[in-house]
Amino acid sequence: MTRRNRALVLPLAGLFWIAQPGTAAEPPSTTPAPSALSAFIESVVEENPQVRAAGAALEATTAFKSAAARPLYNPEVGVQAENGESDTRALE
């Protein structure tokens, strides 16, 4: 083996040896946050004025969207009147 080949083979062999299953380090386990901390974070987020404003804007947008999907309600009223021997009036 020449020096050049040895310079390539040794690092590649090291990579294959490291990449074998079971030799990799296990990722650190994550522990869930305590429930008191989670409750505190939720309460802070819910009371944040910017979050509340964003929620109100979302509700308004949803209301405008549903209103735009409905047909326009435009009631019409008609009136007829006739003066003669007998006066007649009608509201339609």
Distance CA 68, CA 36 (A): 43
Interval 13-67: pLDDT, tens: 665 555 555 555 666 667 776 788 888 888 988 899 999 999 999 999 999 999 8
d(C-alpha 4, C-alpha 8), whole Å: 7
Residue 4 pLDDT exceeds 60: no
Residue type (1 letter), 90: A
Q: What is the pLDDT of residue 69?
A: 84
Q: Does the reported pTM lie above 0.85? A: no
Q: Is-contact 44 56, C-beta < 8 A?
A: no
Two tokens, residue 10: 């040794």
Two tokens, residue 79: 């009136």
User: 5 falls in which pLDDT band (50, 70, 90)?
Assistant: low
7's enclosing H/E stretch is: helix 3-18
Higher pLDDT, 50 or 87: 50
